Structure 1
Amino acid sequence: MTAVPDQAVDTDVLAVAREQVLERGEGLSEEQVLQVLRLPDDRIPEMLELAHQVRMRWCGPEVEVEGIVSLKTGGCPEDCHFCSQSGRFPSPVRSAWLDIPGLVRAARQTAETGATEFCIVAAVRGPDARLLSQVRDGIKAIREDGNDIQIACSLGMLTQEQVDELTAMGVHRYNHNLETARSHFPNVVTTHSWEERWDTLRMVREAGMEVCCGGIIGMGESLEQRAEFAVQLAALEPDEVPLNFLIPNPGTPYENFPVVEGTEALRTVAAFRLALPRTILRFAGGRELTFGDLGAKQGMLGGINAIIVGNYLTNLGRPAAQDLEMLDELQMPIKALNETL
C-alpha cells in the first residue's frame, strides 16, 4: 500500500509532531496519526528519524529483551482469525502442554541471552484451575532454579480473583492484546468482544501489574482503523505495546492475506511511536517476514525500543544471537535486570 503524497499536510504533521511529541512528550491525536500513515514513501526516513529522537528523549537508549514460551499450545476455543492455535480451524497446530522442567529450561535459556522478561503464554479463553496451578508451580520452580528474570504471563481473559492470584504469584507484567481497533475487532474475532479484553486490562492495571497490550497489523484494517487503534492503545496507557505483523498461517481464515510491505510497516512503526512517546514499543511476531534484516535495523532506529528474541509460539523467529549482534552493531545497550525491578 503506497500512500498518496500531500506535501502541505506532510510538512504540517511532522512539524507539529516535532514540537508536540518530541518537545512536550504528548502523543499525536487520531487525525494526526492518520496523516503520518498517509505520508509518501520518500518521507519515511524523515519520520523514522523523528520517531527515533522521540524514543531516545522519552524512553532512553536501552532496549528491553524478552523471550516467550507456550505453556499450553493449541486447542483454543476462540475464533481469532489470525491464530493457528484456534481449535476451530484446520491448522496443523495441535494441543500440547509443556512440563515444568521444560518451562524452567526455557526460562534459563532466555535469561542466558541477557533478556530481562520471560513471558508464559497459554492458548486459552481464560485460565482454569489446572492452568493457574501449572503457572504457580512453574514460577516457583524457576525461582528455585536461581533465576531472577521478570515473569510475565499471557493467559487470556481474567476474573478479578484470577488477577489477584497472579499478582500474589509475583507476575510482573500481563499481556493481553486488543489486537486491532475497536471498530475492526468484530471482523477478526466473534467469540468474545473487544470490551471483554479491555475489562481484563483494566483489572490488571488496578492490581498493580504492568500492562502489556498491542496487536497485529495487516488483518484487513484500513489506515483510519490503524490510527484509531494507536490512540485507543494510548488511552489505555500500557507499559508495553508489542507490535506484530500478520503471519498468514496455513489453515486460518487469513492464510491468503498478503504480507505487510516493509515500507508500510516502517511507516506504521513511526506513527505508533509518535502516538505513544513514553511506551515500550516492542518488535514482535512477523517482523522477520515483513522486514528482513535491513528493515529490522531501520525499525530499531525508527522508534522501537524492545524486542522478542527466539521463536514466537507456533512461528519461528531468528536465533537470539542474531538479534543481539544487531543491537551491538547499532550500539543499543540491553536494559539490565536491575533497571526493570
Structure 2
Amino acid sequence: MPATTEGVERQVDILDIARTRVLRDGEGLDAEQVLECLRLPDDRLPDLLALAHEVRMTWCGPEVEVEGIVSLKTGGCPEDCHFCSQSGVFDSPVRAAWLDVPSLVRAAKETAETGATEFCIVAAVRGPDRRLMDRVREGIAAIREEVDINIACSLGILTAEQAAELAAMGVHRYNHNLETARSHFPNVVTTHTWQERWETCKLVRETGMELCCGGIIGLGETKEQRAELAAQLGELAPDEVPLNFLNPRPGTPLARYPLVEGREALRTIAAFRLALPRTILRYAGGRELTLGDLGTREGMLGGINAIIVGNYLTTLGRSPEQDLELLADLKMPIKALSSTL
C-alpha cells in the first residue's frame, strides 16, 4: 500500500521542516514540531544550534539587547511560587526590604554605563498597591532626570487601570512571565492561576507597552510541557522572551531539584528560537550554573540575542565585563538605545 500523507510527513527531518517554515518563511514551529527538536539526540545538537543561530541572524540581526534589573521591593511576597525565595510563604533567608529612590537611580546609572538600553524595576508582590505605584512613578521620574535609558517594570498581576497608568508613566516594556506551561502551572503555583498571568499579558499589549514574557526551565516539567510553553508564548507573541533556568533556592519546595543539564539547556534555547523566530530571546537567571562560560557562548551562537548583565534579584550573575567581552569576541554589537525607542 502507498504511504499515507501523515506517514510521509513523519519521515521528514524536523530541521528540514524548520529551514523552510522558520528560516525561509519566518513562521515559528508549533508545539509538536518544537517537541521533535527537544527530542533530537546529542549528535544532532550542533546542527540544531547552527540553524537556530541562522534564524536569529536572518530575522533579528546580529545586535544584542543588554538589560539590567533591580529589585525595588524584595521579599515578603504573599504568593507561593515554588521556585521563588522571595515568597513569604516559605522559610527562605530572603527578608522583605524596599530600595530607596536614590539607590534606584544609582542602579539605573550603573546599568546604562554597561551599554544597556533597558532597565527593569522589579517588585516581589502579587500585584501593585497604591504605595508601590507611587514609588514606581517617583522612581521613573528621578531616573529620567539623570539617565537616558528605557525603563521596564515587573510588578505582578495588573488591573486594566494599573496597566494604563504604567503606560502613561512611560514604561517601555512590562515583564510578566507565564513561568511554565499551563498544564504544569498548578504544580508550581497555587495562589494564583496561569489564566490570571495570561490576562495581565493581554492587558499590557492593549495599553501599547511592549510585553516581556517567558518562563523557567527545570521546574519538573516534561519535554512535552516545554514544547507546550513555547507554543503558548508563540500565540501570545511577546516582544521579548526571557529564558531562565532553575537555580534551586534554599527554603523553597524546589530546593533539591537538579540543575538542567547543559546540553538540554542549549537544546531548549534553540527549540524556542525556532518557535519564536522574530522575538528577542534573552538569557536570564540560572544560565551561569547551567551553562557556565562555554555554554553561555554556545547559546549566543544558538539563538540568544539578549542578555541580563550583572546580578539578578536574589542570585548572583556573571560580571558585566565578562558578558561584554564575550559579545565583543563574537563580534555581536550591542543594540543602540535609539533603535529601541
Q: How far 1:144 moved relative to its partner?
A: 1.4
1:205-231, Cα deviation, whole Å (9 max, x unpaired): 010000000000000000000000000
- The unaligned stretches of length 5 or more in structure 1 are 1-7
- Which residue type is aligned with residue 177 of structure 1? N
Which residue is 1:282 aligned to? 282
Which residue is 2:123 aligned to? 122
Q: Does 1:303 align with 2:303?
A: yes
In the alignment, the residues of structure 2 paired with residue 316 and residue 32 of structure 1 have an alpha-carbon distance, to the nearest angstrom, of 35
Q: How far 1:245 moved relative to its partner?
A: 0.1
Identity in percent: 75
- Which residue type is aligned with residue 90 of structure 2? F
- Which residue type is aligned with residue 333 of structure 1? P
Q: Aligned with 1:191: secondary structure?
A: coil
- Which residue type is aligned with residue 118 of structure 2? E
Distance 1:163 1:17, change over 3 A: same
In the alignment, the residues of structure 2 paired with residue 92 and residue 23 of structure 1 have an alpha-carbon distance, to the nearest angstrom, of 49
Which residue is 2:86 aligned to? 85
- 1:10/1:39 contact within 8 Å kept: no
Q: Aligned with 2:164: secondary structure?
A: helix
Q: Does 1:337 align with 2:337?
A: yes
1:70-94, Cα deviation, whole Å (9 max, x unpaired): 0000000000000000000001000
Q: Does 1:24 align with 2:25?
A: yes
In the alignment, the residues of structure 2 paired with residue 90 and residue 260 of structure 1 have an alpha-carbon distance, to the nearest angstrom, of 24
Coordinate RMSD, CA, aligned:
0.9
Which residue is 1:260 aligned to? 260
- 1:51/1:302 contact within 8 Å kept: yes
- The unaligned stretches of length 5 or more in structure 2 are 1-8
1:107-130, Cα deviation, whole Å (9 max, x unpaired): 000000000000000000000000
In the alignment, the residues of structure 2 paired with residue 215 and residue 302 of structure 1 have an alpha-carbon distance, to the nearest angstrom, of 18
Which residue is 1:135 aligned to? 136
| Number of corresponding residues | 333
- 1:90/1:252 contact within 8 Å kept: yes
Which residue is 1:200 aligned to? 200
1:91-130 correspondence to structure 2 within 5 Å: 91-130=92-131
Q: How far 1:296 moved relative to its partner?
A: 0.2
Q: How far 1:143 moved relative to its partner?
A: 1.1
- Which residue type is aligned with residue 324 of structure 1? L
In the alignment, the residues of structure 2 paired with residue 183 and residue 77 of structure 1 have an alpha-carbon distance, to the nearest angstrom, of 23
Q: How far 1:11 moved relative to its partner?
A: 6.1
In the alignment, the residues of structure 2 paired with residue 54 and residue 321 of structure 1 have an alpha-carbon distance, to the nearest angstrom, of 27
- Which residue type is aligned with residue 209 of structure 2? M
Q: Aligned with 2:13: secondary structure?
A: helix
1:150-169 correspondence to structure 2 within 5 Å: 150-169=150-169
In the alignment, the residues of structure 1 paired with residue 204 and residue 33 of structure 2 have an alpha-carbon distance, to the nearest angstrom, of 30
- Which residue type is aligned with residue 110 of structure 1? T
Distance 1:10 1:225, change over 3 A: farther
- 1:49/1:302 contact within 8 Å kept: yes
Which residue is 1:210 aligned to? 210
- 1:173/1:211 contact within 8 Å kept: yes
Q: How far 1:9 moved relative to its partner?
A: 6.2
- Which residue type is aligned with residue 193 of structure 2? S
1:18-97 correspondence to structure 2 within 5 Å: 18-97=19-98
- 1:10/1:35 contact within 8 Å kept: no
1:165-244 correspondence to structure 2 within 5 Å: 165-244=165-244
In the alignment, the residues of structure 2 paired with residue 16 and residue 101 of structure 1 have an alpha-carbon distance, to the nearest angstrom, of 52
Q: How far 1:148 moved relative to its partner?
A: 1.7
- 1:9/1:35 contact within 8 Å kept: no
Q: How far 1:10 moved relative to its partner?
A: 8.6
In the alignment, the residues of structure 2 paired with residue 149 and residue 232 of structure 1 have an alpha-carbon distance, to the nearest angstrom, of 30
Q: Aligned with 1:251: secondary structure?
A: coil
In the alignment, the residues of structure 2 paired with residue 283 and residue 11 of structure 1 have an alpha-carbon distance, to the nearest angstrom, of 31
In the alignment, the residues of structure 1 paired with residue 228 and residue 153 of structure 2 have an alpha-carbon distance, to the nearest angstrom, of 26
Q: How far 1:308 moved relative to its partner?
A: 0.2
In the alignment, the residues of structure 1 paired with residue 223 and residue 318 of structure 2 have an alpha-carbon distance, to the nearest angstrom, of 29
- 1:177/1:212 contact within 8 Å kept: yes
TM-score (norm 2): 0.97
Which residue is 1:5 aligned to? none
Which residue is 1:3 aligned to? none
- Which residue type is aligned with residue 234 of structure 2? A
In the alignment, the residues of structure 2 paired with residue 309 and residue 270 of structure 1 have an alpha-carbon distance, to the nearest angstrom, of 21
Q: How far 1:338 moved relative to its partner?
A: 0.3
In the alignment, the residues of structure 2 paired with residue 112 and residue 10 of structure 1 have an alpha-carbon distance, to the nearest angstrom, of 51
In the alignment, the residues of structure 1 paired with residue 83 and residue 10 of structure 2 have an alpha-carbon distance, to the nearest angstrom, of 34
In the alignment, the residues of structure 2 paired with residue 9 and residue 139 of structure 1 have an alpha-carbon distance, to the nearest angstrom, of 53
In the alignment, the residues of structure 2 paired with residue 227 and residue 209 of structure 1 have an alpha-carbon distance, to the nearest angstrom, of 27
- 1:244/1:287 contact within 8 Å kept: yes
Distance 1:250 1:9, change over 3 A: farther
